[in-house]
Structure 1
Amino acid sequence: MLPHTQNTYWHEFSEISKYNVQLNYFERLWAAWYAFIGNDVLATGIMSFLMHEIVYFGRSLPWMIIDRIPSLNKYKIQGQKVPSAKEQWDCAKLVLLSHFTVELPQIWFFHPLAQFFGLSTTVPFPSIFTMAYQIAIFFVLEDTWHYWTHRALHWGPLYKNIHKIHHQYSAPFGLAAEYASPIEVMILGLGTVSSPILWCAITKDLHILTMYIWIVLRLFQAIDAHSGYDFPWSLHHFLPFWAGADHHDTHHEKFIGNYSSSFRWWDYVLDTESGPEAAKRRRERKLASSKKAQ
């Protein structure tokens, strides 16, 4: 073999495959990437950033296409407000700027921080069960963080100076999920990153693949919540505690209430739900309370 071919990714994959037959195909691909780059911080940084960009814009693209299909407009929550191509482009520019100036440095710093707390990047991968229950915990932790910080961002000065940018679109669309002030991106993004790090610090049991799957699912959740569409097969119709697009769309339309990201329970328990049904329940409670007082 010629010397210049020995530094390729596929050469590393071939070598690892020879001596690690116990690893599955994807584990060998993973190990070859780290061996090929030769620097764990660089390998994780490149992979993390590329994954984020591909998933974010890849998941946003179907919603952009759906916006251009008139027959699907009946499923749009605010049917009269379809974003124009200019609005989509303006949004994409700010999101890209935020990704490169705010999120990229955070992603690069993530590996050393996570390694300090015991994050694993080696193979074999953890079991599906392990990843599933850990991700479920991350969803609950992030939702709690998101509720309280998002609610705080609606306090006068914080709303005016930070959160107002995100509310530029009263009828949200998928691409606008991360359309926000750099400060807000850091504050709310901290919930996504710190939940796994906190878990890792306590248990010393977390693989970066679990982290990646969690971030992919969180991106899907955020983009879908901003999609502006409520289909009969949308998840909240099967899981009543799931927030979904109808929950967050109302938040953008009314500019208050429905502060949670993934679930509905914080808004329900603390009576911060927004929308006609929530207003009706409040009126009924108030009426029942006044009758009881008489």
Structure 2
Amino acid sequence: MSGRNTSEVHILCSPGQLFLQPLWDQLRAWDSLTQSPLFAVLFSITTYVGFCLPFVVLDVLCPWVPSLRRYKIHPDFSPSARQVLPCLGQTLYQHAVFVLPLTLLHWARGPAPWPREAPELLPLVRHVVCCLLLFDAEFFVWHVLHHKVPWLYRNFHKMHHQNSASFALATQYMSAWELFSLGFFDMLNVTLLQCHPLTVLVFHVLNIWLSVEDHSGYDFPWSTHRLVPFGWYGGVTHHDLHHSQFNCNFAPYFTHWDRILGTLRSAHAK
């Protein structure tokens, strides 16, 4: 984009857009990458692995740094290479064999050009929160069904529960059906809300981070569930109980659906 065009966009932007416009201009400058059919897969893989790596390093250090154990939900557990590598391999395999072909098919229809203007900040935040709430509700229903119907659990969801004590790279250790289901919910919500492409990227980054944190096995003072008031957000301790007890805490993030339907169990009650 030329300096003149950038100036014109800035004149037309509202104050809320001006806050995000420099970031959006930088992203649009990389259009050779962002408009590539490989972008979605590369973005997903690098974001996911990038969020997992700090926890992998902590797992390696934990046996040698006893002070780290105070933050582990299972202090005596450290994932072995025989657990970690299959999880990473499953993620890479599914993205190469399933996600990439679908991305190429979608791109072949013609990539949608990104708008010149950035979204306003408040609508971006509102859309991201709405996407998280919608995803939370959709996944709650999906999750309950896959635990209550033995055939669904045995054929599609059991794989994710093979590691009772979670670790970061086990987040996406799941069947192809589960991966597609979660991806479908993601894309359905951003499409229904007609989200700006920058909003979509922010939502995907936040969604990946929250899912990795929920499976990380570490409960830090700055963990998300400690930052959200009134117990509205379950977090890592909430999800760890689901993996150990199976019949509670089905919502991935928030607690209201489990509270309403009587499936909420507190980590303090454990």
Q: 1:207 aligns with which of 181, 190, 196?
A: 196
2:54 corresponds in structure 1 to: 62
Q: How does 1:78-227 map to 2 (within 5 A)?
A: 78-108=74-104, 121-154=114-147, 155-200=149-194, 206-227=195-216
SS at match of 1:90: helix
In the alignment, the residues of structure 1 paired with residue 246 and residue 98 of structure 2 have an alpha-carbon distance, to the nearest angstrom, of: 25
Matched, 1:29 2:23: no
Distance in structure 2 (CA, Å) of the matches to 1:184 and 1:199: 23
Cα–Cα, structure 1 residues 249 and 161, in superposed 2: closer, same or farther, change >3 Å? same
Bigger radius of gyration, 1 or 2?
1
Aligned identity (percent) is: 30
Once the two structures are TM-superposed, the CA of residue 45 in structure 1 deviates from its matched residue by: 3.2
Q: Could you give the per-residue CA deviations for residues 114-171 of structure 1, whole angstroms, max 9, x where no partner exists?
A: 98xxx87211211121211110110110000010001111121111111010001000
- When residues 83 and 122 of structure 1 are mapped into structure 2, their CA distance, relative to the original with a 3 A threshold, is same
The answer to whether the 8 A contact 1:114-1:197 is kept is no
Structure 1 gaps of 5+ residues are 1-15, 201-205, 280-294
The answer (yes or no) to whether the contact 2:24–2:198 under 8 Å persists in 1 is no
Give, in whole Å, the separation in 2 of the partners of 1:152 and 1:90. 27
Task: Flag the structure with more relative contact order, 1 or 2, with Cα contacts below 8 A and sequence separation at least 6.
Answer: 2
TM-score normalised by L of structure 1? 0.78
Query: Equivalents in 2 of 1:113, 1:126: separation in Å?
Result: 25
Which residue identity lines up with residue 189 of structure 1 in the other structure?
A: G
Secondary structure of the 2:38 match is helix
Distance 1:234 1:114, change over 3 A: farther
CA RMSD across the alignment: 2.4
Cα separation, partners in 2 of 1:276 and 1:76, compared to 1, 3 Å: closer
SS of the residue corresponding to residue 126 of structure 1 reads coil
Whether the 8 Å CA contact 1:77–1:228 is kept in 2: the answer is yes
Gaps of 5+ in 2: 10-20
Query: Once the 2 structures are TM-superposed, how far is the Cα of residue 257 of structure 1 from its aligned partner?
Result: 1.5
* 8 Å CA contact retained: 2:237, 2:267: no
Q: 1:258–1:272: 8 Å Cα contact kept in structure 2?
A: yes
Distance 1:89 1:64 in 2: 11
Letter in 2 for 1:187: S
Query: 2:93 is aligned with what amino acid?
Result: L
CA positional deviation for 1:112: 8.0
Amino acid at match of 1:65: V
Matching residue's letter, 1:246: T
- Distance verdict in 2 for CA 1:181–1:271, change over 3 Å: same
**Per-residue deviation, 1:220:** 0.2
The alpha-carbon distance between structure 1 residues 276 and 209, as it changes in their structure 2 partners (threshold 3 A), is: closer
1:264 aligned to 2:255? yes
CA contact (8 A) 2:135 2:189 kept: yes
SS in 2 for 1:162: helix
Offset, 1:256: 2.3
Give yes or no for the alignment of 1:74 onto 2:63: no
Per the TM alignment, residue 234 of structure 1 is displaced from its structure 2 partner at its CA by 1.6
